Structure 1
C-alpha cells in the first residue's frame, strides 16, 4: 500500500501499461456521460479521465467545454444547437438537463472526428455527484477517478472564482467517501496549488501541452491558464515534482523516453493524453509511460494484448 493508494491503479509495471478512458470512451460512446463511463468500466478499464465545470447554481457537472458544443448537443425538440453556444456557467442545472448529449452531428468538423461513436437519445450531462454515486455502487466499485477541474480564463482579479471549483469538488468527493479513489487533475497549476492546501489527502496530477502543438477542433484550450513552460527554468517533470505533484500528464506529442525516465527518477507517474492512433499508442508504450489516456480503450487493449501486455 502506498501513501496514496489510488496511484497504484495508474502505476505501470513490468508487463503492465495502465489504460485510462478519456471522457469515458469518446471514440465509441457519447463523451462524459454515465453511459460512456459504465461501458468503459464494463470492458475492464477501471480508470476514467473526465472534466468538471460549474453551473450557474454552483453545481459541478461533467462536461469538457465551458460552452455547450453545438455539434454534440440537441435541444428538447431534438434539434442541433446553432448560433452562439450556451455557456455552462450561465445555466442552472435544471436548464442544462434540458439538452441531449447522446450523439454527434456528423456534418460538423467535430462530428467527423468520431465517426464510430454510438448515437443515442435522451442522455444528459451528469453531475459529478452522479458519477460519485455510481462509483459507490457494486457495479462501480472498481472505478478510479482522474478528475480534471476546468479553469476558464478570467479577468484580472477573478482568480478566486477560478479556485472556487476546488472547494465544491473536494466537498463532494469527501461526502462520497471517495478520496482514496480520486486524483485531482488540471492544466491550471494554481488550481492544483489550492488542491494541495485544502485536500492534501488526494494526490495531484499536472497536465501540460507545449504551445507549439495545436488544439483539436471543437476543444476548449487550456493553454492560457497553464504556466509559461519556457519560464519555469527547469524541465516540466522537475517543475511538477517541485510543486508536490505525484503524476505528470503530458500531451502525447510532447512525450519522449528521456522525459519519461526523468519523471520516473523524480518519483512521478506519467500518463500521456490523448493517444488514439495505433502508431501513437505504440509510441507511448515504447516511451515507457505508466498509463495511456485514450478515446479508444478497446483499441488500446488489443494493442497491449498483441504485445503480451496487460492493463
Structure 2
C-alpha cells in the first residue's frame, strides 16, 4: 500500500550537494548537512562481489581516477580509486563509499535519504534485493524512513516484493499519460520527474490524485519558486543553499 505519512522535505540535496562537493561522497553529504538540508539523494550500484556502493554512473571514469565498469569490479578495487580530486584538490582522498558507510554517516548527521537504484543492465533484481535488504537491516530507527526510487521499473517491482514497507518513488524523465497506471502497479508513494518537460497542468493532475511530486535537478531559485507555485512538493538540487531560502 502507499505510505502517505512519508514526509520528504521541499529541498533535497542532489547526490549530496553536487554543486559544492564531489557527488555521492561522504564529504558531499557532510557539506549538504552544513548547508542546511535535512535529506539527501544518492545512487546505488552493485559491485561484482555483490556489495552496494554509492555511485551514479555504470562506469567509474567520470568521478574517479580509475576506469571501468563498477559491475565488473570487486569492492576492494573500487575503493582504491580517488573519487574527490577530480572535483577539487581539497577533496583528494575521498573514495566511492559503500551503502553501509553512507548509512552510518547519515545516522551521525541526522539526515534522511532518497536512495536511487541505478542497476547495471542485467543485475536489476540483484541490485534491488541487496539494497532493500540492507536498508531493512541497517537503517537507523532515529532517522525518517528512507524513500527508494528508480527509473528502472523492474527494480521497483523487486523492491516492492522484497520490502513492501519501504516507500517507493517512480522516476520518469517526462510524465506521460501512462503515469497513473505505472505508479499504481508498483504501489509507489511518490512520483519524480525532470522539471524541464513538466507543465503546470500535469503537476496539478498528479497532485490532485494525491501523489507528492518531486522534480530534479533544479539549480535556480527562480525555477524552484515557479515549480512550488505549480504545487510541486519538492526539488532535488545540487545547490541547496540557493533554494533553501525559499522555504
- Say whether the 8 Å CA contact 2:36–2:241 is kept in structure 1: no
Does residue 254 (structure 1) correspond to residue 197 (structure 2)? The answer is: yes
User: Which residue of the partner structure matches residue 47 of structure 2?
Assistant: 55
Structure 1: segments with no counterpart, 5+ residues: 11-17, 75-80, 106-116, 155-160, 211-228, 305-309
- Say whether the 8 Å CA contact 1:269–1:290 is kept in structure 2: yes
Task: State which of 129, 134, 140 in structure 1 corresponds to 2:100.
Answer: 129
Q: Which residues in structure 2 correspond to 1:106-185 (within 5 Å)?
A: 119-137=90-108, 140-141=109-110, 143-154=111-122, 161-178=123-140, 181-185=145-149
- Say whether the 8 Å CA contact 1:184–1:204 is kept in structure 2: yes
Q: Point out 4+ residue stretches in structure 1 off by more than 6 angstroms.
A: none
Query: Computing the radius of gyration over CA atoms, which structure comes out larger, 1 or 2?
Result: 1
Whole-Å Cα distance in 1 between the matches of residues 164 and 211 of structure 2? 17
CA deviation after TM superposition for structure 1 residue 258, in Å? 1.5
CA deviation after TM superposition for structure 1 residue 243, in Å? 3.4
CA deviation after TM superposition for structure 1 residue 91, in Å? 1.1
**Residues matched between the structures, number:** 244
User: Which residue of the partner structure matches residue 237 of structure 2?
Assistant: 294
User: Which residue of the partner structure matches residue 8 of structure 2?
Assistant: 9
Whole-Å Cα distance in 1 between the matches of residues 242 and 157 of structure 2? 35
For residues 86-140 of structure 1, give each alpha carbon's deviation from its aligned partner in whole angstroms, at most 9, with x where no partner exists.
Answer: 11111111111111111336xxxxxxxxxxx684111011000001112233xx2
- Say whether the 8 Å CA contact 2:20–2:31 is kept in structure 1: no
CA deviation after TM superposition for structure 1 residue 194, in Å? 1.1
Residues 287 and 104 of structure 1, relative CA distance in 2, 3 Å threshold: farther
- Calculate the TM-score normalised by the size of structure 2: 0.90
Whole-Å Cα distance in 2 between the matches of residues 19 and 235 of structure 1? 27
Does residue 31 (structure 1) correspond to residue 13 (structure 2)? The answer is: no
Structure 2: segments with no counterpart, 5+ residues: none
- Calculate the TM-score normalised by the size of structure 1: 0.73
Residues 295 and 3 of structure 1, relative CA distance in 2, 3 Å threshold: same
Whole-Å Cα distance in 2 between the matches of residues 264 and 246 of structure 1? 12
Task: State which of 80, 84, 103 in structure 2 corresponds to 1:98.
Answer: 80
For residues 231-257 of structure 1, give each alpha carbon's deviation from its aligned partner in whole angstroms, at most 9, with x where no partner exists.
Answer: xxx442453245311100000112222
Whole-Å Cα distance in 1 between the matches of residues 56 and 115 of structure 2? 11
- CA RMSD of superposed structures (Å): 2.2
For residues 138-165 of structure 1, give each alpha carbon's deviation from its aligned partner in whole angstroms, at most 9, with x where no partner exists.
Answer: xx22x111000112334xxxxxx31111
